[in-house]
Structure 1
Amino acid sequence: MKNKIDEEYLAKRQLKKGTAGWMLLAGLGISYVISGDFAGWNFGIAEAGWGGFLISAILMALMYVCLVLSLAEMSAMIPAAGGGYSFARQVMGPIGGFLTGLAILIEYALAPAAIVIFIGAATESLLGVNGPIVYAIFYIVFIAIHVLGAGEALKTMMVISALAVFAIIATAIALIGDFNTANLFNIAPSADVVGATEFLPFGWHGVWAALPFAMWLFLAVEGVPLAAEEAKNPAKDVPKGIIGAMMFLLFTAVLVLFLLAGASGAEMIGKSTVPLVDALNFTGNETLGTIVNVLALAGLVASFFSIIYGYSRLIFALSRAGYLPQFLSLTSKRKTPTWALIVPGVLGFLASLSGEGDLMLGMAVVGATISYALMALSHILLRVKQPDMKRPYKTPGGMATSGVALVLSLIALTGVYAFDPRAFNYTIILYVVCSLYFFLYSKNHLVAKTAQEEFAMIEKAEKELEHEL
């Protein structure tokens, strides 16, 4: 009788298989992040100077490369929609799985609310319209596209991301002739900081406080494995997709980091709310600046749109396993998790009404760094406890690689406190309060006792559905 219940339960919770190859997955990873190239990262220059921010960016790039390589191995081993939650549950049990999933959920639930506030600011500058009506329109339209189907959503993301990427590359080409190394160091060393230099005008404390801003150049790329159950060949496509996305994001990060400040000065870029546009206008490229100002909205929309996809797949997986209310994992005839798209969208819209986008992004970074540490730890524990588990892709450097990601993620977590203690404290309180739901209720209502049991149930249900079709 139990197996029958399991089959009926899972039959109502199926995602559409084979909708994404590695190119679409790489596009998804780029979409998650691309808005970070347009604004936000540059405030790290104001915290640390260009040289200090360069150090922060190198450290965070190293962290993300090591994390991505670790996730590539785990996603090939465990191709489940839960991504980091599934990896952690495999080796750390239900508690470790929930704590990892919750940290990712905080990141992915708060980031769209913050981004839609920035979208509102962009529409105000372009059209003179802002506020709750703008937030509501963007949530409704893009959630509706996701409800139509994963293939349609991923293809839409590729088009929007392509426009944003065009804006970045066109800006870089326009600015390269104005590059001057002296512009990188035009922030005077602070007289109040011991050991301040032209390269580090705010000392090493500035480097520490700039770490969260450096993360904005790569934040959320780790969400690619959330599409594993919809990939054509998860064991090959997900590792190729996430690594491909990371390599491209390193390229765009180098472009904006060097060319914007090098062409128009670090001091101006560190204060700019639209750094690409301001750099173009400063160098006499006003027409292109106007075009990029419009396309910057595409970058914001790409990240907003793709992170909605990410949170829906994570909530789907957590709900299907019983960690969250089970109705959230019900899927439609089009095999999309309707309630996992709508309910967080409503909550995100309500959060956006606060208007505090910077606070929510800071809180999202705290959730991200906690999840990075737990995912890196999962990779290490999987190597130690389950060395014989099939690994279609193996992380170069093995545990040393994930060890670097673990250490740097903990350092990055403290960097949020150095910059904004309020964001750090609020997130820790939210994390503890949400954890109580698991310890007081959902731990006793899990669908399967172990990750292996859950995956076996899913595989069996899929085969039986295919046989029926």
Structure 2
Amino acid sequence: AVPAARAAADGTGAEPGDPAAADPTAYLERRALRGGSAGPLLLTGLGVAYVVSGDFSGWNAGLSEGGFGGLAIAAALMGLMYTCLVLSLAELAAVLPTAGGGYGFARRALGTWGGFLTGTAILIEYVLTPAAVALFIGEYVESLGLFGLESGWPVYLVCYGLFVGLHLWGVGEALRFILVVTAVAVATLVVFVGAAVTEFSASRLHDIPVGGGALGAGSWLPFGLLGIWAAFPFGMWFFLGVEGVPLAAEEARDPARTLPRAMAWSLGVLVLLALATFVTATGARGAAAIAEVGDPLVQALQPHGEPTTASRIVNYAGLTGLVASFFSLVYAGSRQLFALSRAGYLPRALSLTNRRKAPYLGLLVPGALGFALAAASGEGARMLNVAVFGATISYALMALSHLVLRRREPRLHRPYRTPGGALTSAVALVLACAALVATFLVDPRAALIALGVYGAALLYFACYSRHRLVASAPEEEFAALAAAEATLTRD
């Protein structure tokens, strides 16, 4: 029944003479990751690293959209969305612990089209976000006067060359580096909060002038109720990327147990960092003063415009937050690309691994693309907005996958079960759809760019790759087994 299900599922059976079908063992051996390389601590560090740069900069632009009250409510709602999403993904990751992550979950629940839609959205997020962060690293290096360098393509090239090279060396080494750099970034945030508290004043939280005519406008909501919605994408910056932890499933030790634990721990750390950073930074200097700056934490510690010891520490050590996020996002993008390629959705050569079991083309190709985008565009904020658009699509589809599997396969063995069940993923789905619409409010052009990329990818899938999928890939085999079981049940 299984071979029949593979061939019949959406018409995606492999072509006759296809080497992946002729010798699936050899095909997968050339596309194997190094298993057992990451335990709960390294995975938790990975989850925090994805996000930590968002605490240092970016979120403060939401003050210009919603004021302190609007951004606070937006961040709380987005925190709720991520909490519900992470709890839902923890269950799915325990059921299907493969490198496909969100693509694999959607493939099981929504079929090949749903899998490709989800995987493509995740790729948009994890290819564009590192390119944007590389631009921010360049700006940081220039502002600090490090080595006399100016922001430009040489800095971006060093970022990609150095950190992609470390990933090629091996996943264990890469994850340990991520953990160390992330620990420094978190320690820097702790230093910042301790210093900012001494300058804190509640009156500075709502010092943005009230916009005239806005519905519900007031000192805490200077741009009214609509400002809350417009601030959604910036509220996401405190958590954007944490959903990528399941992409490390094939390299984790005992993934069914460690992935849910690491996802919960990393989310807990991020919630605490978001709350402390947001409130103390705004209260130390004022919402109006930091709304438009590129280094809000540094400016929050310089009330008179003069550097202090604490601001210098945060300024220099803050670079580690950008490095941690850049490095971890490169990892996430390579694993999602690896899984889609291994299953045939993208060119299969992209999933080949080297002697140290790293997907070398899956690292080099998106790295080259990201470098080109950073060097050519220089628009870090717009690239991040495009990435946020892709992320919200993937969130909606992953939450929907949890709902579908809960309803369709209630007896599926679940080593970890989401607290609240379908209600939890339903909340994530509704909030993800709201955040998706909010991206149009902030940057319609970025949303249209993302839709254009999406359209081109779907055309490739519809005309070519959906007829050349690899049935022996773990995510595809998992879906085929489900189809076979359903057929046997009906018979």
After TM superposition, the score normalised by the length of structure 1 is 0.95
For structure 1, the residue ranges without an aligned partner over 5 or more in a row are: 459-469
Secondary structure in 2 aligned to 1:161?
A: helix
Determine the structure 2 residue equivalent to 1:461: none
Alignment of 1:387-406 (within 5 A): 387-406=410-429
Counterpart in the other structure of 1:238: 259
Local SS of the residue matching 1:178: coil
Q: What do you get for the CA RMSD once the two structures are aligned?
A: 1.7
CA contact (8 A) 2:406 2:422 kept: yes
| Residues 103-131 of structure 1: CA deviation (Å, up to 9, x unaligned) | 00000010011110111100111124220
Aligned to 1:320, which of 342, 345, 367?
Answer: 342
Change (3 A) 1:200 1:64: same
Task: Write the deviation string for residues 231-267 of structure 1: whole angstroms up to 9, x where unpaired.
Answer: 0110011111111110100000001111011111111
Report whether the alignment pairs 1:445 with 2:489.
no
Match of 2:309 among 281, 287, 290: 287
Q: Does 1:372 align with 2:395?
A: yes
Counterpart for residue 196 of structure 2: 175
More off after superposition, 124-133 vs 343-352: 124-133
Structure 2 length-normalised TM: 0.91
User: Do 2:163 and 2:327's aligned partners in 1 also have CA atoms closer than 8 Å?
Assistant: yes
For the pair 1:227 / 2:248, whether they are aligned, the reply is yes
Displacement of 1:181 after TM fit?
Answer: 1.2
Distance 2:480 2:25 in 1: 8
Equivalent residue, structure 1, for 2:9:
none
Query: Partner letter of residue 252 of structure 1?
Result: L
Alpha-carbon distance in 2 for matches of 1:65, 1:45: 23
Give secondary structure in 2 for the equivalent of 1:15. Answer: coil
Q: Is the 8 A contact 2:126 2:387 kept in 1?
A: yes
Give the aligned partner of residue 103 of structure 2: 85
Q: Percent identity?
A: 51
Task: Name the residue aligned to 2:157.
Answer: 136
Q: 1:183 Cα deviation (Å)?
A: 1.1
Residue in structure 2 matching 1:50, options 68, 77, 82: 68
Gaps of 5+ in 2: 1-18, 482-491
Cα shift readout 1:190-229 (whole Å, capped 9, x = no counterpart): 1242431011100112111111011111001000000000
TM-aligned CA distance change 1:89 to 1:453, over 3 Å: closer
- Counterpart in the other structure of 2:92: 74
Say if 1:321 and 1:454, in contact at 8 Å, map to a contact too: no
1:434 lines up with 2:434 in the alignment: no
1:450 deviates by 8.6
Q: Secondary structure at the match of 1:157?
A: helix
Mapped partners of 1:138, 1:338: distance in 2 = 17
Greater alpha carbon shift after TM alignment, 65-74 vs 270-279: 270-279
Question: C-alpha distance in 1, partners of 2:478/2:313?
Answer: 48
- In structure 1, distance between residues paired with 2:409 and 2:479: 18
2:56 paired residue number: 38
**1:82-112 deviation digits (Å, cap 9, x = unpaired):** 1000000011111111110000000001001
| Count of matched residue pairs | 458
CA shift at 1:2, angstroms?
7.4
Question: What secondary structure is seen at the aligned counterpart in 1 of 2:344?
Answer: coil
Identify the range of structure 1 (447-456 vs 198-207) with the bigger mean alpha-carbon deviation.
Answer: 447-456
The corresponding residue for 2:297 is 276
The CA distance in 1 between the partners of 2:100 and 2:80, in whole Å, is: 24
Aligned match of 2:206 in 180, 185, 191?
185
2:356 to 313, 334, 345: 334
- Report 1:12-161 matches (<5 A): 12-126=30-144, 127=146, 128-129=148-149, 130-161=151-182
| Residue identity matched to 1:134 | V
**Residue 452 of structure 1: how far off its partner (Å):** 6.1
Q: Does structure 1 retain, via aligned residues, the 8 Å contact 2:94–2:259?
A: yes
